[in-house]
Chains A and B, each alone.
Chain A
Amino acid sequence: MSRVGTIARRTFLIGTAVIAGGVAFGVYAYKREPINPLLKDLGDGQAALTPYVRIDQSGVTIITPRADLGQGVASILAALVAEELDIAWNDIRVDFGSPSAAYYNGIAAAEGLPVPATDSSFKARTTRVVGDAVSKFLGLQITGGSSSVPDAYEKMRIAGAAAREVLLQAAARRTGIPKHQLKTRDGNVITPRGEVLSYASLAAEAAKIEPPQKVRLKPAADWRYLGKPMQRIDIVAKSTGTATFGIDIRMPGMVYATVRANPAIGGGIKGYDASAAAKARGVIAVVPITGGVGVIADNTWRAFKAAELIKCDWGAAPYPPSSAAMFEVVASSFTGERQDSRLKDEGDVEAALQDAGVIEAEYKVPYLAHAPLEPMNAVVQLKDGRLDIWTATQIPLFVVATAAEVSGLAPDNVHLHSLMSGGSFGRRLEDDYVRQAVEIAKAYPGHPIKMTWTREEDMTHDFPRPLGMARMRGAVRDGKVEAYDLKVACPSVTASQIGRLHMPTFGPDIAIVAGAWDQPFRIPHYRVTGYRVPELVPVSSWRSVGASANGFLHNGFLDELIHEAGVDPLKELIRLCWHEPSRKVLEAVGEMSKWGSDVGKDRGRGIAFTLSFGVPVAEVVEVSNTPQGIRIDKVFVAADVGRVLDPTNFENQVQGAVIWGLGHAVNCELTFKDGVAEQTNFHAYEGLRLNQAPTIEVRAIDNGSPIRGIGEPPVPPAAPALANAIFAATGKRIRELPLNKHIDFV
């Protein structure tokens, strides 16, 4: 049975109940929620009060069922529960939980719908509810789309409140004291006489009590944790080398493996000669895997060395061999036949662009690798009809389905132990590395095996952000932007990625134009058209997905038009913007950067704005034009995520996302030769280093907007704000990334 078939069947009964119940009426009904996965492995005296809280004799464990990729989601989700449950910060223990449909993500699917985040109409809201229902149906326990916090904001607080309520009831039953006279504090129920009953001691009784259907949440004014700087729960471990990543797992009898797969992705392997590798010191076995070879040895380095000795006869890539050839395919995709969407079409663009004085430009963006610092790895053990997998993943249910399919075991015999990961940026939305590890385990059962990729394997087997091109035309009149016609052509991330999960996609791919079609600007004649380039290299979600490219494309040419109109960029963006929260963000960044003041000789300021994942973000970049090249001095960022749950982590995420956006814009690209990525390691794919990192000032604007995540939205404006600043400082307009193809950087 195919993977989707398996998943759908496993979740169908749960799913239909859910769709018929909670969602339609907007009531959070516990009984109709998907089965609580904690109930099945409970020991004596343990209670699982909701899918998010487990209590036993040693205390409370909060299940944070999203992958912590560095964004700090485990801490924030735990804080949501802890706030209502009333436990002390230092007593918080978290567990990523086992894969379960109960941990569906109701927000992530909504991001792919053709409804702009600024649309709060009934139709838009209904479409989003359908997104939630579909996600529940499929049990998509996914981490992505900056969705973890908005998805969890209510449901995990409710889980904490419900658990507290049950504990209070248990204490009332035991003591005979009416519930309303009992209080809680730091993991204990306190009686009016001052007796202290720990939650742990109440676990067995609490397990017998049905959680309430309705709970009252604390008003924000009473919050102890939320809205205040929190110490990340993993910060000491991550500062002492004691955090355990997948690559750090050690087990008795463990062996070590690596793989070499065809770097011409999908080209397959025609044959290989492993005679030298098999004789190398420490090598245990050389085994075939799909499209490549695996090497098992007694340590990782020996596996790496042996893998290099294998002579592989690779097949050719099923796509054009060079970047130049691929860009030709992109350039020839601006056709009616390839048109994928025209979600914005206001005024009469064709008529407005009849006159002389039409401004035209062409822009280009490259493939980009995720390249998280921890290379892909997984620990697997296939033994006695049971498969255990220790790894980090953003798609746990799909990983289990893949592992079941490859191993031939029933999904119930596949046990996934989710770990934190050393970065991801979307890379772990793919499960290729798990598939390989399970293939190796099948060839060498009975032992724990740690499979680790070399950096070279990682760089040459990424599922990159797609390349793309844009063709723009525009016109200005009386010092105003009058017409903007934007055409974007790139391969479909959604079709490529969802296709690998064996799921159908339908309708246009919003990712092709995300961050362009949905911007809150009113231009008299304004049109955004997406063209779907046929799949070339398989592509995937890369931090901020479609907006990562469109932020640059849309802002870059808009800045050109504004300059052509001879007006101030910030003033014109504010004038064009109809969306109040976005306008406030623009005004704030203007104030922070003292926009309009003298920036000094050989210096320049650039501004850009992108609304993505529902979050308006404006950035101003200041650069100096030095004899050694461009130096990025300072960045100002204003963003509106509604309420900020942890100001420290918020600032850290914004700064990281800005450095991510700038670093890739300055010097990163993945180019192809003979079907193989040419950048094999960090010597050729650097990003920014500490000496190049600007100071970054961050301000959160709360306009009372719905709560949103911040992991991705600051990425899209960074590249165009930098390019616009370079234009301001040098007069040089750069229309292609990376920028260092056209100008030097310090």
Chain B
Amino acid sequence: MSLFLQTIICGILLGAMYALIAIGMTLIMGVMKIINLAHGALVMVGMYITYFCFKEWGIDPYLGMFISMPALFLIGCLIQKYLINRLVEVDSILPENQVLLTVGIMLVLTETMRLIFKSDYRSVVTSYSTKTFFLGDISISIPMTFGFLIAMILTWLLHLFLTRTDLGRSIRATAQDRDAAIYMGVNASRITVITFGIGSALAAAGGSLLLPLFYLWPDIGHLFTAKAFIITILGGMGSTMGAILGGLTLGIAESLGATYISMGYKDVVGLIIFLLVLLFLPGGFRSFTRR
């Protein structure tokens, strides 16, 4: 029983960090109406920046994320402004082809990191990396608990931003009806730039929080793109709440798979859930609330 509880708790902790990454993807998808296949690569770049700060300057990853987040915000803004929006301006290019551009961006980011850091597996080992604390007879990892708490705080701050500020509301409005937002005086193309920046910063945040738990190498981005994609489908595309639920579900599923099947199969469990949802619940969790 306590193994089961421990597995579930571990899944929830992990899931909140995944959710952060997926919320970033959802936000971008909401405003741009495209799947950002470079999202995992942005996570990966964020992880490398945090890793670099740790390796070179001894900055703790939980502080380093506050360097990688603004850095990725900037990179995200530049990508949207100078690459994606350039393509959007050309009427004859269909949105499906904008997705191809994100694949190109993914490749460039991945290979650039390979050039700088080689393909070596890297990891961050801190004094608390393997520390745990006990809740009754359940042992809980400290870095995962930290990651969970920071992920929840960031999610909550994002929620406040999206619902309480004019800029945040303008992002939601642009996602719901772009032309109507323009009628209100919203500079929609500026909103896409800011949104891509925020989405990228969230990717960096999630990546940095997961850094103590994962080996880092340039191709790890694919793993996170897949996870974010699965979560987004689970959550019913474009909903923040859905992304949180989807993230938790994926985290728990992976955790159960790792405990009861085998560590090596944990990603397979996620994919199986993904297939089941596509087959039986194509609208994701939203199918339950909206009809």
A and B together in one complex: no
What is B's interface to A at a CB cutoff of 8 Å? none
What is A's interface to B at a CB cutoff of 8 Å? none
